[in-house]
Structure 1
Amino acid sequence: MALINLLDWREEARQQRQKEFFITLGLMALLAVAIMALVYWIMNNKIAGQEERNQYLTTEIRQLDRQIKEIDEIEKKLAELEQQMEVIQNLQRSRPEVVRLFDELVRSVPEGIHLNSLERKNDQNLTFVGRGETNTRISEFMRKMNSSERLKYKDLKEVEKERKGVPAQVFVLEALQVIPGATPAEDSNNQGGAK
């Protein structure tokens, strides 16, 4: 039988398989690097896209915040205008009341009473400072005030004799202005409206 040496052929086959293994290993490494680069590029694109959307949302939120601030300022101005309109309307409503008050005052002041000053507080509280010839005249003034439609006697603060000149009584009298037909809520609105 003849002896055949197969070692060379086996050695070559092993080297060929080893070469193919390293080539396959290199190709796999390249493929893994390519896949990682692709995943990295895709993720960076997604992150950049999300950052762009976030930037857009931030810009829109700032714009909406500015608009909200403008709306708040407009609402504040509107409230101020409504208050001013209410004050003007109250003044318009109360304008004829002053004339009526003085007309009623002329009817209520009896002969022998001289008013020196009239002070009006909170659109309702009136303070009269004057002189009366006698206490009876002052009492008559208070009674006429109570029977008046627009005046109500509240309090006689002070009465003292005048020392100089003609004998007379100096008095300080408080009263309320009444608006006929007005509800208490309207009276309080008129109080707060024009001061």
Structure 2
Amino acid sequence: MTAAEHPLPLPAAENALSTRSFIARPNVDTGYTGIHVQLDGVPSHHLPLLLTAYQYKFGRNVEAMCRHLIDDVAVGWDELGTDLLDNAPPALVAALTGGEHWPSRTLDHLVTPDGSPPVRMTVTEATADELDMQWGYVLHKEGIEVISFLHEALGPVVSWSTDPRTAFNAHPAAWSSLGPAPTVRASRARKPQSAPAAAPAKAGVPRAARR
């Protein structure tokens, strides 16, 4: 199976489930400071977008990327979209999306019970647990630290030079700070020999099962 056969999970408005995550920058006082992202927080979705955005949209400028993804957001992100692939080669965009496109959406228009303006959804190392985060993506100079909060509070770093078409493992236990970043999905359980051989599965999550 080639890298081009690993498109991003696609958006599914009809599926209300969420995988909560955040995008952050390192901070000497708080460990890191970032912003909440409500949907699609698994590495197989976020990492291809973030790696491509760094390599093309933001010209390998981590600070410019942090300003766009963290500082310029009033409340938080609902989801990250294919606008982060701007300026990437068409062949790469097609390989990642399969031709689908969806915009990044913010949470600026939330309605609070008392009608007050929504509060910025800031995440720090001290608050990530209490906010029930599932994944964290800290944008370091050398790469993206991926934190799986179902496993531990630290994570391996994915180099900025990593090919965005890499098939990243989305299983929380695979992302240990004691090992390298897992770049292949977990293998499926072996079927009985009597069962017919299955055709190779095409990577990516169907629209209706994405969240």
**TM-score (norm: length of structure 1):** 0.22
TM-score, length-scaled by structure 2? 0.21
Higher RCO (CA-CA < 8 Å; seq separation 6+): 2
Q: Indicate the structure with greater helix content.
A: 1
Bigger Cα Rg: 1
